[in-house]
Amino acid sequence: MIAFNEDPEIYIEKFSKEVKDKFIETVRIKYGNSMIPANKAYNEYIRDPYHTHLNSTKWANLTEFVLDLESEGLVETTK
């Protein structure tokens, strides 16, 4: 906890990268290129008992997370 308090940005970035990488991996393995609701994909991601929680990241909620993934070209959303 002391290390986190000294420089929380390092940990937030680490956790954010971990969530993004594992989420994308889960979606690719489970759903391929299928269009699925973000909450369904997230529920599949959190089935892993060792997952990192979204509230440990730079994203405040699932919508913000998915929009960030879209801006990076990692997912497509419907409008």
The pTM for the full model equals: 0.86
In the chain, what are the domain boundaries?
2-71
Question: Hey, which CATH number is domain 2-71, 1.10.274.50, 1.20.140.10, 1.20.1280.50, 1.10.10.2030?
Answer: 1.10.10.2030
Q: Rounded CA gap, 65 and 40, in Å?
A: 14
Tell whether the model's pLDDT for residue 71 goes beyond 90.
yes
Q: What angle do CA 17, 58, 31 make, to 5 degrees?
A: 50
- pLDDT recorded at residue 39: 94
